[in-house]
Amino acid sequence: MTQKLPLDRLIGELARRYDGLIPTRDLYDAGHCCEAVGNRARVNSLAWITPGVRSLGSIELTPLRRAMAAALVLPDSWISHTSALAVYGRTHDEAGRYRGKAKTGQTVE
């Protein structure tokens, strides 16, 4: 029988894996109860992002983190290449070439 990881250690590992985001489903699946997770939220070590996703402390919710939080809510979900490009302000044309704006405002391909 495997031993359950302490909650704080598991939170740290999940935060590293998901860029500061923690899917609460993973905490429950590892054997931690709703009350223990709720206690961490009340003492401000876990901030609410969306139902099913918390963050470790207060982090900037970048477009990429928003997309990742949406994907973490549902099991077996993912972000498509097109969605990932949109996060970075890029698109692809009909020929499949990627296009976007560089920081200087120039179009890059």
> CA 51 to CA 78: how far, in whole Å?
17
What pLDDT was estimated at residue 107? 40
What pLDDT was estimated at residue 8? 85
What's the predicted TM-score (pTM) here? 0.68
b (16+ CB within 10 A) / e for 78-104: eeeeeeeeeeeeeeeeeeeeeeeeeee
- Residue 33 tokens, joined: 């109860």
Digits of tens for pLDDT over the chain (109 positions)? 456 788 888 888 999 999 999 998 888 888 888 888 888 777 767 888 888 999 988 888 888 888 888 888 887 887 777 777 777 777 666 555 655 544 444 443 4
What sections of the chain are H helices per DSSP?
A: 7-17, 24-29, 34-42, 63-73, 81-87
Q: Phi/psi of residue 14, each to 5°?
A: -65, -40
